[in-house]
Homo-oligomer: A and B are copies of this chain.
Amino acid sequence: MTAPIFDQIAVIGIGLIGSSIALAARESGAARKVSLFDRDADVRKRAKKLRLGEVCDTAEAACDGADCVILCVPVGAIGETTKQLAPALKAGAILTDVGSVKESVLGEMQAHCPDKVFLIPGHPIAGTEKSGPEAGFPSLFREAWHILTPLPQREEDYNSAVDRLAGFWEMLGAKVEIMDAGRHDRVLAITSHLPHLIAFNIVSTAYDMESVGEGEVVKYSAGGFRDFTRIAASDPTMWRDVFLNNRAAVLETLGRFTEDLAALQRAIRWGDGDMLMKEFERARGIRKAILDAGQDTSETNFGRNTKDKN
């Protein structure tokens, strides 16, 4: 058995990600002890029942003695939570998070994080559309990327803290990547934030069609729509905070998307089949690159339920 990376970690916020970290840290042996806190008393009660670790009644109690504190709260709550926890953090501890936006939150975290604590923001590219402590499972991070966006300082003890945190995520099965916060936000705007916004939007549009009933949309959703509803089932609070905090990159990406869509719309209106062919063939090329890179082995099968595949 490999030695634990941390003697104790504290998980603040017990949703899908927080509960998965707790389960994965214990299953992998990456942490000897896991303490947890959620501001929702009912969630704390459920987390106790699920035996996710030592569920504490205050965030401060959960952080007491922790070598690594992981904020698993929505992006919009990270600054405030850092402020609240600061006095409870142990000297030499690591403070990290799992937020989907990094740059806008960094200032607030830095402002409140004590000097003696190593602030190393992070983001696991992993998830499902489910929410809450019951949604967690220990293999969630396996083979997934985990992006760390360390501060641009390079003291040796800080670097060694980054190595320790990277080692922790690797024990959970993740592949760790170091990236600048601003770059992270631009990459995620196109690979994650815009796709989610589009999915939320198309589901809303379908909802409002007077000419097609909701029942029909549901019944024939297998023609492509269903994949979007799955993405659009993700946690609303989390995504609201993502869009409000990665505003610039999302608006820039969205502007390009809308421009490109207008060009397709015009081609449809004027019957420009060559333009449509050219664009659709290009899109196919990117899919091939993803398959070649081994980034996806799953398949679309839009007639039936995926579980019935064979």
Q: Name A's B-contacting residues (CB within 8 A).
A: 76, 124-130, 139-145, 186-188, 190-209, 211-212, 214, 216-234, 236-237, 239-241, 243-244, 247, 250-251, 253-254, 256-258, 260-262, 264-265, 268-269, 271, 273, 276-277, 279-290, 293-308, 310
Contacts and interface: CB of A to CB of B under 8 A. Distances in A.
Contact of A279 (B76, B204, B307): B204
One complex includes copies of this chain to the number of 2
Nearest to A124: B303
A190 B212 contact: yes
A305 B300 contact: no
Contact of A265 (B240, B254, B308, B310): B254
A287 B228 CA distance: 9
Contacts of A302: 125-128
A290 B226 contact: yes
Contacts of A124: 303
A139 B142 CA distance: 32
A227 B196 CA distance: 11
Given A186-B211, A273-B244, A297 B306 contact: yes
